[in-house]
Structure 1
């Protein structure tokens, strides 16, 4: 799962809100974690609050999580819903990390046995593995590495 930290400054208005929303829209094609640093934000306009609401809705729709920290201005009652706000960056990051459902990689099919499977990065053949290390695909003969979480890395060939 991808995670991004956005450091914001000045007045959070339509201009910053729309740029941030468009960037988050691009990044939410797959579930991601977004941490918004408001520590240098001096003001949030009414339109800025609307963009924050749109950002939180977009994240809910796509399975992404968003939280912020360091906001030093008071929040109007009608805008208190949606975005989780924390006082420190570490609290915000801790919250976002707690929202990760699983650390099973997307390319790993996790059967209930100790043996796990991955797809060959070259020919997509389903292969079994038990421990981290170097593997050779029997179908296409490409050498690759599988780490202990099941992430696959290929080796570059030097010509």
Structure 2
């Protein structure tokens, strides 16, 4: 009878709480490539949302009289899609829906994105400093072993 070998994997990343909703930020190298392109990826999704709203005529000059419910809803939907895309790119698909279910306030969630971005950037700087320190430690250990062998 053989015994199974169990190797645990600890995910790279950290939890981020937005209000009461806890999300996970994946800080693996693979995901960081996406994260640093969040604006570009969100703009691509915005283009898709704008295509959906293309049939709506937005007036050149906006006045109370020129706005109708359909136009306001279309503009709101485009903005909401853009905000949703950013949350989903940063935290994974479905993240925006979780937050919006708890906090159905697109303006508040848009403002929170700035805070989220700054907090994540700070944490990534801390992680990078820790990784650099660990790499330097391993390098020194290797060099010390190599120096002892060559004696």
Same fold by TM (over 0.5)? no
TM-score per shorter chain, which class?
Answer: under 0.3
Structure with greater strand share of residues: 1
**Larger of the two Rg values belongs to structure:** 2
Higher helix proportion:
2
Q: Quick one: higher RCO (CA 8 Å, sep 6+), 1 or 2?
A: 2
